[in-house]
Chain A
Amino acid sequence: MTTRTPFDIPAHASSDDPRVTLDEALGTFEPIPPYPPRTEREAEFYTLRDGEMFVNMGPQHPSTHGVLRIVLKIDGENVVDLDPVLGYLHRGVEKLCENADYHQAICYTDPLEYISSLFCEWSPVIAFEKLLDVQVPRRAEYIRVLSGELNRIASHALFMGWFALDLGGLTPILWSFIERDEIVEMLAALTGQRMLFNYFRIGGVNGDLNHEFMSRLGTWMSKATHQIDSNNALLNENEIFVRRARGLGVIDTATALNMCMTGPNLRATGVPFDVRRAHPYSIYPELDFDIPSRTEGDCLARYLLRMDEIKQSLRIIDQCLHEMPDGPVMAKMPRLIRPRPGRAYAAVEGPRGQYSTYAISDGTDQPYRMRIHDPSFVHLQAVGLLTPGNLIADTMAIMASLDPVMGGVDK
């Protein structure tokens, strides 16, 4: 085991070291940190054996789904080890929320997962409602479920496109963007925004269903099943796609549970855990839908499971539209909210897994503490577990199949 760096610079030379000039430091191009190793793991990782080299992937790499940086240690085409470097998108959302009142806090949680913003609003809203002990009108709950399931379909459609793009297919991303764009446009008609909706309010939703939303939804629903089937037909029977995804990045049930994985990634390993059924909230207990699960636990299972979930979401939307009651969409709320001191926890099932919020009130109009659990962060840990031993190309496939969003990871 030898430490090898170009230009004979000591492996972990500090920038204070007089032997290190700027030119040489620029000339190395090695992703070795310029400080001494802080942990044993770091010391071991940044030591190269014979034939190994580092490849710095990201934060501007085309397929790291945002600003994730991964230092890959490769031996030829094989990935020996990897070290994810996070924090390029850290905004301190939790701390920001503590300095805003309860209404404003929802705006800050919105851009956490910019692909499925409604769920990032949903869990703090439920937590605050628990703190305040508010009864949400039935119509508002139906509208929340309706818009949430639409957002889930948009997110899964985007997943399909990105997964195929990371496997080298050009067309699926543009086909799936048709679905996503139609949904996003109809949600824009409902909420006023395309991505960061800021639609849910403590005690209800911002506005009632309007004509444009309903007409767009009706047009889309009449062809949705056909379109989604045709999108799937492009990939599900593609020999190259199936051969690349099958048996890749297998997680067994015990590991998935130990790593605290939730959502489709857990259900693909055979555990039909879904917050909507396990810890029901809103009107989900009254709705009729299945929790699809698969036992393989590989990338293909994760992909197929999300495609099944789209169909279940369509069922839920159908029921919501048929059973939606009349009535107000907002409970009677004071303008300034001062919940009694206490604490509340709320979890919702998002497209990537369980989003949950833990909020503590000290009786003022601002949350005393607020913590957000994001599934992407949990799932990103699995990349380090699944990738070593695979090829460079598989790193992208595994990462795309876990479907992390860096906005949620870095918070």
Chain B
Amino acid sequence: MTVVGRTWERLTIPGKILAVVIPLGAVLTAGLAVLIALVGGAVVQFLVDNLPLVRFVVAATIVLLMTVPSAFLIIYMEMKVIALMNLRYGPDRVGPFGSALSVVHGLKVLMKEDFTPTSADVPVFTLAPVVVYMSSVMSLLVLPFAPGIFGQDFNIGLLYFFAMGGLTVVGLLMAGWASFNKYSLLGGLRSAAQIVSYEIPLTLSVVGVVLLAGTLSINKIVLGQAGTVLDWYVFRQPLAFVIFFIAVTAEANRTPFDLTEADSEIVAGFATEYSGMRFGFFFFAEYVNVFIASGLTVALFMGGWNAPFNWPWPVTVGLDPGGLGIGLLFLLALGPPLAIVVLGLPFYLLNSQVKFWQALIIGFVLFNLLAVAAVLGLAFVSFDWVVGLLWFMGKTYVFVFTFVWMRGTLPRVRIDQLMGFAWKWLLPASLLNLFVTAGAILVVNR
């Protein structure tokens, strides 16, 4: 046995770990430093050169991370609103007013067994939820949330959007076929028939808006609606708005068009054999689709992030911290402690129950709240995208509420009524709308 071996034997287990980790860390750090020194400039240069690509990757990550919280929010909203319509309490145990219930649901879904039926077509069965979820997430990429806040602004944004929406049906059909279950198969075929049929009036109803805006880019369509509430396309294309909203409801598989997962007929449709997180993907995709459908309705017809009247902001706030010179340092060092004491003092003086350290804690909390409020208020006043985001989200959640409201009120249509409605009523109406719009544009532009 060598010297090294004997030394190694004498070490305790933490000692062994440290003896490995410290030299390894040192080598790696040195290597990283050398690497940065050698190629760091090139990497930065590469990132700067390919800024659109970097922007795309960052945007895609943010959009992907955004889906789950927004789905949670909509699920909670649906549970609570439908409960109130049903004269029930709804979730009220987990978190304030039961608001954490959908998070707990998500965790439960993650922990459940990931079950595959014996006779299922395993690769297709595994891929189907991914395809459905992916198509939803990719649709989100072109949705303009606020001025400058969007994943990507394509020239063909709307076309891309409908292409991604149409991809959902592939996933549902895959799920229906691969489950080796007749209810699943029926659900998958129903979704294929339904989504393909409603794609046509959906696309045709938007063509009127596209003609008015002169572009397929959703961002430019939103910009075209700037001004007051009267400039929104819903007032120039009311018929298209109605057709679009009905068709988008069918596309999102929502009541009264939720035939694909009609629980009283075909148990759970395409999702019958899915469990655990695979089912969770379908579930998330459905609610992300609700968000997307509402968001697109807002972007195309309700002015997107535009305020309904001339919004006076952004205003330029004449703050110049550099003008304070060395005073800035004093402000940063002494401002917070002084503010904490000043805010906490009234509690100490006016209430004999409160001890001084408790008053300091109250002051600390109050100061933080005030600071956050000040920062947010400053952002709200000086950046137009904050206001735009608020307007967009507000309008979108009004439509999300409408979807939930319909689910609480309406029964389900039958498959023949569903198809007849698409082909006999929506399609002619959308064609009529298109011709009238085109004629009007010809007459006005002449």
Contacts and interface: CB of A to CB of B under 8 A. Distances in A.
Interface stretch (A32-40, A55-63, A97-105, A259-267): A55-63
Nearest to B415: A77
Contact of B411 (A53, A240, A392, A395): A240
Nearest to A56: B182
A121 B374 CA distance: 73
Interface in A226-279: 234, 238, 240-241, 243-244
B317 to A, nearest CB: 50
Interface string B41-66: 00000000000000000000000000
Given A61-B267, A168-B258, A392 B87 contact: no
A241 B265 contact: no
Interface residues of A, number: 34
Contact of B86 (A61, A63, A174): A174
A77 B188 CA distance: 12
Q: Is the interface of A mostly helix, strand, loop or mixed?
A: helix
A391 B267 contact: no
A393 interface: yes
Interface in A144-165: 164-165
A396 B259 CA distance: 14
Contacts of A238: 410-411
B105 interface: no
Interface in B402-421: 407-417
A170 interface: yes
A63 B415 CA distance: 18
B186 interface: yes
A238 B119 CA distance: 43
Contacts of B304: none
A53 B410 contact: no
Given A166-B264, A174-B88, A244 B413 contact: yes
B118 interface: yes
Q: Could you say which of A56, A167, A396 has the most chain B C-beta atoms within 10 Å of its C-beta?
A: A167
A314 interface: no
Nearest to B263: A62
A86 interface: no
A56 B181 CA distance: 11
A394 interface: yes
Given A170-B407, A170-B408, A394 B414 contact: yes
B267 A393 contact: no
Given A168-B256, A168-B412, A175 B267 contact: no
Given A29-B119, A169-B411, A170-B408, A393 B262 contact: yes
A396 B417 contact: no
Interface string B256-276: 101100111111000000000
B87 A168 contact: no
Contacts of B262: 168, 393
Given A55-B182, A168-B264, A393 B409 contact: no
Given A27-B119, A168-B256, A170-B407, A175 B417 contact: no
Interface of A: 26-27, 29, 53-56, 61-63, 77, 164-171, 174-175, 178, 234, 238, 240-241, 243-244, 391-396
10 contacts: A55-B183, A55-B186, A56-B182, A62-B263, A62-B267, A167-B412, A171-B82, A240-B413, A393-B265, A394-B414
Given A167-B412, A171-B86, A392-B266, 14 more contacts: A26-B118, A27-B119, A29-B181, A53-B182, A56-B182, A61-B267, A62-B263, A63-B263, A169-B410, A169-B412, A170-B86, A240-B410, A243-B417, A391-B416
